[in-house]
Amino acid sequence: MASHGPRAVSRRDSAPLLLALETATAVTSVALFRGDALLAEVETSDGTAAETLMVGIDDVLAGNGFVPAQLDAIAVSIGPGSFTGLRVGLATAKGLAFGTRAPLIPVPTLAALADAAQAGELPVLALLDARRGEMYAGLFDCTGPIPRPILPEGVYTPAELVAQLPPACVVVGEGAVPFGPGIRSVRGDGVKLAPSSASARGVGRLGAALLARGETVPAAEAVPRYVRRAEAEVVRTGKRFEATSKPR
């Protein structure tokens, strides 16, 4: 497993020990936090999430002298993103939660991307490539402790999205590379591009804030946020989007 880390920093022993998992994109990552302080992080793009996730979990826990039973909470990226990756991440998080009785914190992938940008007063547009010339997108006000949705997350074409954007915002996420320049060419120089990758560090940062507010769920009730149905499901149901996604 090619990885970065673990990277250790100082611990605050009175704060909750939180494990964060990110499997929504091609880069699988795992991070360990004590409260909102990062203890260690590993990431890899070599192999699938199913192949690398448990290795990463062992790296950050054992590398800092912990075992799963010591976890106080588990934060997991719930999507949108790779259908297979989300299933692997959530299944792993549920297994750990059941085994340790640690509460589970579902963290929306786009909100975590927006929160990690630390963009100040500007709204943050988080983008992931949804293929087929479309993008997963959500626009957030990140001035508070928890990102507040301005534009609901959903699947958008570039034209649909541009029509609903403010004149100034920060564009983050992997989708900023293929779609950001086109958005900026229409909306102008007020659009700032800051391409970034989804990370367990971002999931843990937002997860810690959600945990402080008591926003956890029983492991059995956690579900992925696909936004768009898998192709086999489209064929079976004739419906391309989940009921919670943007109306078409």
Residue 111 contacts residue 145 (beta carbons within 8 Å): no
How much is the pLDDT for 246?
Answer: 38
- Secondary-structure breakdown of the chain: helix, strand, coil percentages, each rounded to the nearest 5: 35, 25, 40
Contact present, 140 and 148 (Cβ < 8 Å): yes
Question: Is residue 25 within 8 Å of residue 85, measured between CB atoms?
Answer: yes
Judge contact between 226 and 242, C-beta under 8 A.
yes
Domains located in the chain, CATH noted: 17-108+198-231 (3.30.420.40), 110-194 (3.30.420.40)
What distance in Å separates the CA atoms of residue 144 and residue 82, rounded to the nearest whole number?
A: 28
Instruction: From first to last of the 248 residues of the chain, give the pLDDT tens digit.
Output: 444 444 333 334 579 999 999 999 989 999 999 998 999 999 987 777 778 899 999 999 999 999 999 999 999 999 999 999 999 999 999 999 999 999 999 999 999 999 999 888 999 999 999 998 999 999 999 999 999 999 999 999 999 999 999 999 999 999 999 999 999 999 999 999 999 999 999 999 999 999 999 999 999 999 999 997 443 333 333 444 444 433 32
Query: What pTM value is reported for the model?
Result: 0.86
pLDDT of residue 119: 85
Residue 218: phi and psi, rounded to 5, are: -60, 140
Tokens of 156: 């958008």
Query: What per-residue confidence (pLDDT) applies to 235?
Result: 35
